Structure 1
């Protein structure tokens, strides 16, 4: 039986030490859905939604934070960068849809919260989407629409209800 053996020595060039750190988001356990939603305004008080939204976006067990991707041209091609997003980049929407989507009183209360923003240096409106999770968020109410741009009412509003789609848009400023 033949035994084949080989041995050699080679020089390894010196390399610099590189440290890499990675941020990993560990999501909390999703709290049980226990309500219809709540807003707390620092001066106007607490409002528990009369009706749970029919649709919502960018919120589930927690805020849905999308990663940030950018691409730049270089001399030799392209440089791509992908990084974790920030909760302050998240815009959430709540939508009440259907025939009689909600009451006129609810629209008026949401409009009062939207038209009277607190000073962010002092406090924020607090939002609890307790129809999907048990978390609370500091938010800035950025838009309120009824039937398209602005608040558009019709003859049914005189009866105390609104028709069409009511949309409340908020930017998350942080967690409570």
Structure 2
């Protein structure tokens, strides 16, 4: 009867040190709500909202930055990537709703800010949502709607108020 035996010696080297780093976003404490909202246009001046919006999206204690997910098809399936988002990807909306949602004067001032954008290479509109936090942001006004697309007025507007929903849409370009 044959007996097979095998023996070998191998060297276990020093374990290599592996360092991994990740970015962690530490959210600031939420500042005290102290106002109704403010926009500062470099050419048209400062406008303090007549009333704070009834609804807002993508903003709370700070801008709500969604992560970025991408998927690419490969031969055996897919390659997925998930990374932190950037504040420049955030689109914020403020909405005034209700029967008499706001004054006609406010709509006209917001329309003037929207229709006269500053050159982003030089300056931005400053936005302070002080009804929800104490932060300030550089923004680009990308949309203004009253009762759907565009600015749609009715007979109540002649009395100085607007009915329906007023939506101001902004893209955040950075923090102040």
TM-score relative to the length of structure 2: 0.91
Number of residue-to-residue matches in the alignment: 169
Is 1:80–2:80 an aligned residue pair? yes
**SS in structure 2 at match of 1:112:** helix
- The match for 1:164 is 164
The residue aligned with 2:107 is: 107
Give the ranges of 4+ consecutive aligned residues of structure 1 lying more than 6 Å apart after TM superposition: 13-17
| Structure 1 residues 91-170: aligned runs within 5 Å | 91-170=91-170
**Relative to 1, partners in 2 of residues 1:77 and 1:12: Cα closer, same or farther, differing over 3 Å?**
farther
Between 1:74-83 and 1:86-95, the stretch displaced more is 74-83
Deviation at 1:21, TM superposition (A): 2.4
Output the CA distance in 2 between the equivalents of 1:59 and 1:51: 18
Cα distance in 1 for partners of 2:126, 2:93 equals 15
Give the deviation of 1:78 after TM superposition. Answer: 1.0
SS in 2 for 1:52: coil
Q: Distance in 2 between matches of 1:37 and 1:128?
A: 6
Q: Which runs of 5+ in 1 are unaligned?
A: 1-8
Match of 1:47 in 2: 47
Q: Distance in 2 between matches of 1:139 and 1:85?
A: 17
SS at match of 2:119: coil
| Structure 2: segments with no counterpart, 5+ residues | 1-8
TM-score scaled by length of structure 1: 0.91
Residues 15-34 of structure 1 correspond to what in structure 2 (within 5 A)? 19-34=19-34
Q: Deviations over 1:14-62 (max 9, x none)?
A: 9886543211111111000000000000000000000110000000000
> RMSD of the TM alignment (CA)?
1.8
